[in-house]
């Protein structure tokens, strides 16, 4: 029953729901190598589910090509129906069948496929239930499972026919925070042990960054940045990505000089601070510098000999258990800085912010 996972190639995908209507997916392209885990991350309405449904064959694209391994499953004049694509899917509301037992939920798609004997089906269901640790629940009505168990059942059902590709659409959004954390580790482990090519759709950056080999950030029907999780988080290429993926301080700056090695001198905070940043922007150009709250260090007095230090006034330090969320006013610009929760700075106090230039990004507007 084991089929090899396939790579997924999506090229220039275009989709609108009404002819001549707005394009909700506009030239999306990505490649998922065999056995790899890929996340599409973006806010509500950006076109994630639409992209996924086109890959599954539940929607017909208006343009573009979708390839599964060597086979074109969607393209000009080609539309392979969903049941012929060998794709497993888990939807946001996991849609297990409530009138069936746990066993029947996993067995049903195998029966419909009519490729297996009764014995083979029973063996496969047993194997899948063991994989998601539900073997003791086979005879139970599916509705009498907890949220996390129902989620695992939905996964077992999607994986039972040995699909060549697994599609997951916000599979954890109905679960509480603790269970979500555990399930994301479980899904990732399962994906790695099966080496199944996986496309995972989410608006949750924590899920995308912790689970995926690569992440594509989507905005208004377009992929605006693609890369490994660290790149997406530490090197956002635009305001949108810096803001959507984590928290970022976005500071207006101006390029005041260049040194010929790809570096530029950038004035920020009305010239209070000059940073030597990596940017291709020309002298005189207005830019935005981004710095993550956890990359800013606060000092009670000016640290001697450290570059990138600016004085500010602490407005607020909110205790959040594992850290302090500090807001610091620097000449009317408020910067967020994340500090150890053991520190006890008090509001109104003068503080010195150390902004390491190597951790700053210079962003484009989109």
Ligand X SMILES: Nc1ncnc2c1ncn2[C@@H]1O[C@H](COP(=O)(O)OP(=O)(O)OP(=O)(O)O)[C@@H](O)[C@H]1O
Q: How far is the CB of 159 from ligand X (least distance, A)?
A: 23
Distance (Å, whole) CA 54 – CA 51: 5
Among 49, 191, 197, 205, binds Mg ion (CB under 5 A): 49
Q: Which of 3, 17, 146, 366 binds ligand X (CB under 6 A)?
A: 17
Whichever of 36 and 49 has its CB closer to Mg ion, that residue is: 49
One of 6, 28, 39, 47 touching ligand X (CB under 6 A)? 47
Locus of tokens 């916000």 = 170
Handedness of CA 43, 229, 180, 160 (dihedral sign): positive
Closer Cβ to ligand X, 174 or 341, answer by number? 174
Q: Is 223 in the site for ligand X (CB under 6 A)?
A: no
* Residue 225 binds Mg ion (CB under 5 A): no
Give whichever of 42 and 357 is closer to ligand X, judged by the CB atom: 42
CA–CA distance, 105 with 98 (Å, rounded to integer): 9
Burial 211-230 (b: 16+ CB within 10 A, else e): bbbbbbbbbbbbbbbbbebe
- Is residue 49 within the footprint of ligand X (CB under 6 A)? yes
6 vs 48, beta carbon nearer Mg ion: 48
Indicate which of Mg ion, ligand X, none lies near residue 117 (CB less than 5 to 8 Å, by partner kind): none
When asked if residue 51 is in the footprint of Mg ion (CB under 5 A), the reply is no
Distances (CA, A) of 215 to 156, 294, 330: 25, 22, 34
User: At which residue do the structure tokens 């029907």 appear?
Assistant: 221
Using CB under 5 A, which of the segments 47-55, 205-213, 237-245, 298-306 binds Mg ion? 47-55
Q: How far is the CB of 175 from Mg ion (least distance, A)?
A: 16
Residue 48 interacts with ligand X (CB under 6 A): yes or no: yes
What gap in Å lies between CA 295 and CA 338, rounded to an integer?
Answer: 8
CA distance 360 to 227: 18
Task: State how far the Cα of 230 lies from the Cα of 146, in Å rounded to an integer.
Answer: 34
Find the shortest distance in angstroms from Cβ 52 to ligand X. 8
249 binds, among Mg ion, ligand X, none (CB under 5 to 8 A by kind): none
Residues 6+ apart with CB under 8 A from 237: 224, 225, 363, 364
Is 219 a binding residue for ligand X by CB under 6 A? The answer is: no
- Would you tell me which residues interact with Mg ion (CB under 5 A)? 49
- Would you tell me which residues interact with ligand X (CB under 6 A)? 17, 24, 42, 44-50, 203
């Amino acid at each position: 029953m084991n089929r090899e996972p396939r790579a997924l190639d999506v090229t220039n995908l275009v989709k609108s729901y009404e002819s001549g209507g707005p394009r909700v997916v506009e030239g999306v392209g990505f490649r998922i190598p065999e056995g790899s885990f890929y996340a599409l991350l973006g806010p509500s309405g950006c076109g994630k589910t639409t992209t996924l449904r086109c890959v599954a064959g539940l929607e017909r694209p208006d343009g573009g090509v979708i390839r599964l391994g060597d086979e074109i499953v969607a393209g000009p004049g080609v539309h392979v129906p969903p049941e012929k694509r060998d794709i497993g899917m888990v939807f946001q509301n996991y849609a297990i069948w409530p009138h069936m037992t746990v066993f029947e939920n996993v067995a049903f798609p195998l029966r419909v496929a009519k490729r297996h004997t009764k014995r083979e089906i029973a063996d496969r269901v047993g194997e899948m239930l063991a994989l998601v640790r539900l073997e003791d629940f086979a005879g139970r009505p599916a509705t009498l499972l907890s949220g996390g168990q129902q989620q695992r059942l939905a996964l077992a059902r999607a994986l039972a026919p040995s699909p060549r590709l697994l599609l997951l659409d916000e599979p954890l959004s109905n679960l509480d925070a603790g269970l979500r954390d555990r399930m994301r580790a479980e899904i990732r482990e399962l994906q790695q042990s099966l080496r199944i090519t996986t496309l995972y759709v989410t608006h949750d950056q924590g899920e995308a960054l912790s689970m995926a080999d690569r992440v594509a950030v989507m905005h208004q029907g377009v992929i605006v940045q693609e890369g490994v999780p660290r790149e997406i988080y530490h090197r956002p290429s635009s305001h949108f990505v810096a803001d959507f993926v984590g928290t970022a301080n976005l500071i207006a700056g101006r390029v005041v000089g260049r040194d010929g090695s790809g570096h530029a001198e950038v004035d920020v905070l009305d010239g209070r601070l000059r940073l030597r940043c990596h940017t291709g922007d020309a002298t005189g150009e207005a830019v935005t510098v981004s710095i993550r709250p956890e990359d800013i260090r606060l000092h009670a007095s000016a640290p001697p000999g450290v570059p990138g230090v600016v004085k500010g006034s602490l407005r607020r330090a909110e205790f959040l258990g594992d850290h302090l969320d500090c807001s610091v006013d620097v000449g009317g610009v408020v910067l967020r800085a994340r500090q150890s929760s053991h520190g006890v700075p008090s509001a109104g106090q003068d503080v010195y912010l150390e902004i390491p230039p190597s951790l700053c990004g210079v962003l484009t507007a989109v």
